Amino acid sequence: MVRCGSVWFRKYGNFIDNLRLFTRGGSGGMGYPRLGGEGGKGGDVWVVAHKKMTLKQLKDKYPQKRFVAGEGANSRVNALKGSRGKDCEIPVPVGISVTDENGKIIGELNKEKDRILVAEGGLGGKLLTNFLPLKGQKRVIHLDLKLIADIGLVGFPNAGKSSLLSQVSHAKPAIADYAFTTLQPELGKIVYNDFRQISVADLPGLIEGAHMNKGMGHKFLKHIERTRQLLFVVDISGFQLSSQTQYRTAFETIILLTKELELYKEELQTKPVLLAVNKMDLPGAQDMFHVLMNQLQNPKDICCLTSLNSPRKPNLLLL
Ligand SMILES: Nc1nc2c(ncn2[C@@H]2O[C@H](COP(=O)(O)OP(=O)(O)OP(=O)(O)O)[C@@H](O)[C@H]2O)c(=O)[nH]1
Ligand SMILES: [Mg+2]
């Protein structure tokens, strides 16, 4: 039923879904043997979830990927109890699982402000340690962005995303000829003869202005971040939400989808994207498809689309 008239994809970019970091808790401060003074404890290293953060931003901001907490202060005559070293916080996106060098899970960060201690600061020098400070814990950690699926189906409402999922997997998503049938992502699994599996997420339809929260845009776009690869599903006849809104051709919907993703988060632009042109059984579809092919192969047309105010031409390649 769903025919992919042609398949296109966008160049693989630098979307990052894992990162390896070096962390070390701060050393403790020296004790003061003569007066029994205690050095301050070294600071701890924490991984903290922030909604707006991405792993790419983290890597760009800290190219050395080293996170070391502050040292505890030495015990002094006028401050026998040394003060505590400063904690170090590593900002990461929500949906990260943290593992150690051996792949053992240290913890998961599933919502904003969740935090996990990854490297503890050393104790300050005290009687127990002969007033010598202890070094902080050293740990290499791996951050992995949990993907909700391998492939995310992205498109305007009514394009046929759920229909496609129902054909390639055992999932039974709601299908109807009105916009916004799908309100929550739905997962399906494609199982191959050799038992390999690909998970596919049917995502709610996007509309123009999604990046500004139109049609619950942000809620939807957030899910797109969590898929490894995108499959744009486009109705060859184009899209019109209602008689009051502008009609968009298939080509325009592709530009608009690209634009919405980019405006929401520039990094999404670098995710690999395949294009499935749908509803090729409708009358006149072949002619419209030829027009679409020409438009996609002619970047000049894309640049002329000033009414769409597209910030950049989409990086689509013919497979
Ligand atoms: N003629 C034709 N109709 C199709 C095809 N694929 C889907 N449809 C119809 O298009 C309508 C919308 O299909 P859905 O699969 O619900 O579309 P969707 O993209 O999931 O829509 P939202 O969930 O609203 O975003 C339904 O009436 C489908 O039967 C196709 O290949 N050809
Ligand atoms: Mg749907």
Cα 8 to Cα 168: distance, rounded to the nearest angstrom: 19
Q: Tokens 């990854």 belong to which residue? A: 118
**Position 312 pLDDT exceeds 50:** no
> CB-based contacts of 300: which residues, under 8 Å, 6+ apart?
none
CA proximity to 223, closest of 202, 254, 209, 241? 202
Residue ID of nearest Cα to ligand 1 atom 2: 279
Residue type, 317: L
Confidence of residue 8 (pLDDT cuts 50, 70, 90): very low
Confidence of residue 233 (pLDDT cuts 50, 70, 90): very high
Task: Please work out, in degrees rounded to the nearest 5, the angle formed at the alpha carbon of residue 113 by the alpha carbons of 84 and 40.
Answer: 5
Cα 218 to Cα 265: distance, rounded to the nearest angstrom: 10
Relative to the alpha carbon of 234, which ligand is closest? 1
- Give the per-residue pLDDT at 319: 32
**Position 303 pLDDT exceeds 70:** no
Q: Are 270 and 281 in contact (CB under 8 A)?
A: no
Confidence of residue 114 (pLDDT cuts 50, 70, 90): very high
Q: Tokens 């150690």 belong to which residue? A: 100
Distances (CA, A) of 80 to 34, 38, 39, 72, 133: 11, 6, 8, 12, 14
**Position 46 pLDDT exceeds 70:** yes
- Give the per-residue pLDDT at 184: 78
Confidence of residue 226 (pLDDT cuts 50, 70, 90): confident
Which run of H or of E encompasses 248?
Answer: none
Cα 215 to Cα 155: distance, rounded to the nearest angstrom: 13
115 Cα–ligand 2 center, Å: 35
Ligand 1: nearest atom to the Cα of 157: 25
CA proximity to 210, closest of 279, 281, 263, 173? 263
Ligand 1: nearest atom to the Cα of 205: 25
CA 41 to chain centre: 36
Ligand 1: nearest atom to the Cα of 183: 23
- Give the per-residue pLDDT at 11: 37
Residues with CB under 6 A from ligand 1: 1-2, 155, 157-163, 175-177, 179-182, 204-205, 278-279, 281-282
Residue ID of nearest Cα to ligand 1 atom 24: 180
Test site for ligand 1: of 163, 172, 182, most ligand atoms within 8 A of the Cβ: 163
Ligand 1: nearest atom to the Cα of 204: 25
Confidence of residue 203 (pLDDT cuts 50, 70, 90): confident
Residue type, 205: G
CA 270 to chain centre: 11
- Does this model's pTM top 0.85? no
